[in-house]
Structure 1
Amino acid sequence: MRKLKLQVQTSADGYMGGPNGEMDWMTFPWTDDVGAYINNLMASVDTIVLGRNLAEGFIPVWANRTEADGEDQETIDWMNNTPKIVFSNTLTESPGPTPPSPTVTSPKPSPTSRTSPAATSSSTAAPPSPPP
């Protein structure tokens, strides 16, 4: 089974964007310790998972990013070349030109989808004990 790691920037009061979705509150470049933490977190990432709103901004922005924007070429290439999955009920194709083309999928389960094997397991193991 694969791991899903969530990496999000939030403001001190818990918001991810301004009232109109703006992200101008984020400051860059990060300090060395924050940059090292993010680099370590991203080292094992092999797929980027996005919702429609983020994908519509993220994918085109990185496709046009250059070193003049303050990013190194290695990061630009990684952001553009890492496979992406976009969850959307409305998109039917990638919101940007970045190869490899992102997979666009609906988060709604199909009427024929089944419960995961883990949920239907006949295991009789006791549930984990609550933490002390």
Structure 2
Amino acid sequence: MRKVILMMSISLDGYFEGPNREIDWHLVDDELHRDFNDRLRVMGAFLSGRVTYQLMAGFWPTADEDPAASEPMADFAGIWRDMPKIVYSRTLERADWNTTIVREVVADDIQELKARPGGDLVVGGADLAETFLRLDLVDEYRIYVHPVLIGQGNPLFRDSDTLRSLRLVETQTFGNGVVLLRYERA
């Protein structure tokens, strides 16, 4: 059975974006970008919310046409274009690039999606991640901790009454100081 993987970058103080949705503090160099690419190219689908999808769709479809694009950026452009995408949105009317629009996150539908053949499913986007966490649909966490304190913003993990035990299965330190923490359900 496929897994639902939450893959996000956060600051050391736990924020995935600043108070105005800024992510310019992310320390994504070629080494880290290659790691993202290697992990994402084997996925079965990208699951995102409307905002994340529109940000990605506004840049990645043609990013590899820019002569200034780094090799990892050009590589990811192809990965993103070719990967099946599911966008959860109540308002989005149309989406391109191998994308399906779904109106609601329904736990039974996610279990059915996990039972299909193919690679794992990666969740991206703040609001969608919060929904998947609230519905206890995340099987694995891949958290990239960036060595910055931004002081305020949107935390990845909101207050919850639920205790979830996890098991550390991998750590990796990158040259820029980013640390990957990979956990599975205990």
TM exceeding 0.5: yes
Please state if 1:5 is matched with 2:5: yes
- Provide TM-score, normalisation by structure 2: 0.49
Q: Secondary structure at the match of 2:11?
A: coil
- Name the structure 2 match of 1:93: 94
Q: Quote how far apart the aligned CAs of 1:41 are.
A: 2.8
- Runs of 4+ in structure 1 over 4 Å off: 34-37
- AA at the equivalent of 1:3: K
- Name the structure 1 match of 2:51: 53
- AA at the equivalent of 2:79: W
Name which structure has the greater RCO, CA cutoff 8 Å, separation 6+: 2
Q: Secondary structure at the match of 1:63?
A: helix
User: Which stretches in structure 2 are left out of the alignment for 5+ residues?
Assistant: 113-164, 166-186
Change in Cα spacing, 1:46 to 1:7, as seen in structure 2 (3 Å) is: same
Change in Cα spacing, 1:54 to 1:88, as seen in structure 2 (3 Å) is: same
Q: Secondary structure at the match of 1:16?
A: strand
Cα RMSD between the aligned structures? Answer: 2.9
**Identity %, equivalent residues:** 26
- Name the structure 2 match of 1:103: 100
- AA at the equivalent of 1:105: V
Structure showing greater radius of gyration is 1
- Name the structure 2 match of 1:126: none
- Name the structure 2 match of 1:23: 23
Change in Cα spacing, 1:19 to 1:39, as seen in structure 2 (3 Å) is: same
Q: Quote how far apart the aligned CAs of 1:108 are.
A: 5.5
Q: Quote how far apart the aligned CAs of 1:25 are.
A: 0.9
Structure that is richer in strand per residue: 2
Q: Secondary structure at the match of 2:101?
A: strand
- Provide TM-score, normalisation by structure 1: 0.66
2:89–2:103 Cα contact (<8 Å) kept: yes
- AA at the equivalent of 1:47: A
User: Which stretches in structure 1 are left out of the alignment for 5+ residues?
Assistant: 118-129
Change in Cα spacing, 1:19 to 1:3, as seen in structure 2 (3 Å) is: same
- AA at the equivalent of 1:54: T
